[in-house]
Structure 1
Amino acid sequence: MDTLEKLETKIGLILNKVKELEETNRELKSKNETLEKDLKTCRLEMQQVREENIELKNGFKDKEIIVKDKISALLGKLEEVEAEIS
């Protein structure tokens, strides 16, 4: 094999490697796009969960206030009954 043939062989190998790397790059870009879409979806879902959590906490606070008001009213009635008994 002369020098020219060796160079042509090396160039052929290099070109094949470049093609392989370009294909790998395309595959990785496609996977990256898919992952970015999944990440965006996850972020939206996480935001929805946060909003639902805030709504639940606010609802719990409202119920807690109602229960406290009922307890206060019952304590007031209890004091009245105790006063009548005394």
Structure 2
Amino acid sequence: MVKKSSVSDAWEDDWESQADKEAKEPAATAPPAPLTKKERLAQHAELNRKIWETADTPGNGVPLQFLASTPTPPLAQPFKPPMTVLARNP
């Protein structure tokens, strides 16, 4: 059976009164309390530590995205001097 959602549906006949009722009700979740400077710095340091930890460890079976060092680059084209056209005046 279809579960009734708490959001008003425009296909219902009484959708305007339902939307007005939902607008008057306060939000169920309160915004989080602001963090102190020390807490923000601690979260930032933890996030940086996790980022560097994942960057330093080899990726779980994921190949590294770099070109292997070879004597010649794979798409190198040898230098070709510009062609000069020699013409004789008639």
Common fold, TM-score beyond 0.5? no
Give TM-score, length-normalised by structure 2: 0.27
**Structure (1 or 2) with the greater helix fraction:** 1
- Larger relative CO (CA 8 A, sep 6+): 1 or 2? 2
Give TM-score, length-normalised by structure 1: 0.28
- Structure number, greater radius of gyration: 1
